[in-house]
Chain A
Amino acid sequence: MNIVYFLFAQTLLFAIPLMIVALGGMFSERSGVVNLALEGIMIIGGFSGIFYMNFMQTNDIMHGMPLLFTALLVSAAVGCLFSMLHAFAAVNLRADQTISGTALNMLGPALGIFIAKTLQDGQQNIGFTNEFRISSVPVLSDIPVLGDLFFKNFYITTFIAIAILIISYFFLMKTKTGLRIRSCGENPQAADAAGISVYKIRYLGVGLSGILGGMGGLIYILPISTEFTCSVDGYGFLALAVLIFGNWAPLRIAGAAFFFGITKTLAYAYGSVPFLAHLALPDTVYKLIPYVATLILLAFTSKNSAAPRADGVPYDKSKR
Chain B
Amino acid sequence: MKNKSAGFFEKDSTKSVISSLIAILIGLLVGLVIILIANPADALEGFLIMLTGGFQEGMLSLGDVLAYSVPVMMTGLSIAFAYKTGEFNIGVPGQYYVGAFVALLIGVKATFLPDAIAWLIAIICGGLAGALWAFVPGILKAKRNVNVVISGIMMNYVGLLLVIRGVKTFIYESTGAQSLTVSTERAIPKFGLDVIFEGSSINFGFVIAVALCIVAWIIMNKTTFGYELKATGFNKDAAKYAGMNETKAVIMSLVIAGLFAGVGGAIAYLGGTGKAIQISEVLPPEGFNGIPVALLGFSNPIGCIFASLFIAYINVGGNYMQSLNIAIEVIDIIVAVIVYFASFTLFIKLMLDKFRNSKKHKTLAAKEGGNK
Contact = CB atoms under 8 A, between A and B. Distances in A.
A287 B163 CA distance: 13
Given A114-B330, A117-B327, A284-B162, A298 B343 contact: no
A110 B333 contact: yes
B153 A89 contact: no
Interface string B130-158: 00000010001000111101110111111
A303 B340 contact: no
Contacts of A233: 282
A245 interface: yes
B165 interface: yes
B151 A111 contact: no
B196 to A, nearest CB: 33
A241 B154 contact: yes
Interface in A272-320: 282, 284, 287-288, 290-292, 294-295, 298-300, 302-303, 305, 307
Interface in B263-297: 282-283, 288, 291-292, 295
Contacts of B332: 106-107, 109-110, 114
Given A102-B291, A110-B336, A241 B146 contact: no
Given A95-B346, A102-B339, A294 B333 contact: no
A295 B151 contact: yes
A160 interface: no
Contacts of A93: 343-344, 346-347
B329 A241 contact: no
B325 interface: yes
B283 A299 contact: no
B146 A292 contact: no
B339 to A, nearest CB: 4
Contact of A96 (B38, B136, B153, B346): B346
Contacts of A284: 161-162, 164-165
Given A93-B344, A106-B335, A98 B88 contact: yes
Interface of chain A, main secondary structure: helix
Interface centre among A96, A99, A100, A234 (most CB of B within 10 A): A99
B140 to A, nearest CB: 6
A237 interface: yes
B329 A96 contact: no
B95 interface: no
Contacts of B346: 93-96
B339 A103 contact: yes
Interface centre among B140, B150, B325 (most CB of A within 10 A): B150
A305 B147 contact: yes
B329 A287 contact: no
A7 interface: no
A115 to B, nearest CB: 9
Contacts of B161: 284, 287-288, 291
Contacts of A290: 157
A240 B332 CA distance: 23
A122 interface: yes
A126 interface: no
Contacts of B147: 244, 298, 302, 305, 307
A189 to B, nearest CB: 19
Interface in A102-156: 102-107, 109-111, 113-114, 117-118, 122
Interface of B: 34, 38-39, 88, 90, 136, 140, 144-147, 149-151, 153-158, 161-162, 164-165, 282-283, 288, 291-292, 295, 325, 327, 329-330, 332-333, 335-337, 339-340, 342-347
Given A95-B343, A111-B333, A245-B150, 11 more contacts: A89-B344, A96-B345, A103-B339, A113-B329, A114-B34, A234-B156, A238-B153, A240-B150, A295-B136, A295-B140, A298-B147
25 contacts: A36-B149, A93-B347, A94-B347, A99-B339, A99-B342, A100-B340, A103-B292, A103-B336, A110-B330, A110-B332, A111-B329, A114-B34, A114-B329, A122-B327, A234-B157, A237-B90, A284-B162, A291-B154, A294-B150, A294-B154, A295-B154, A295-B158, A299-B144, A300-B144, A302-B147
Interface of A: 36, 85, 89, 93-100, 102-107, 109-111, 113-114, 117-118, 122, 233-234, 237-238, 240-241, 244-245, 282, 284, 287-288, 290-292, 294-295, 298-300, 302-303, 305, 307
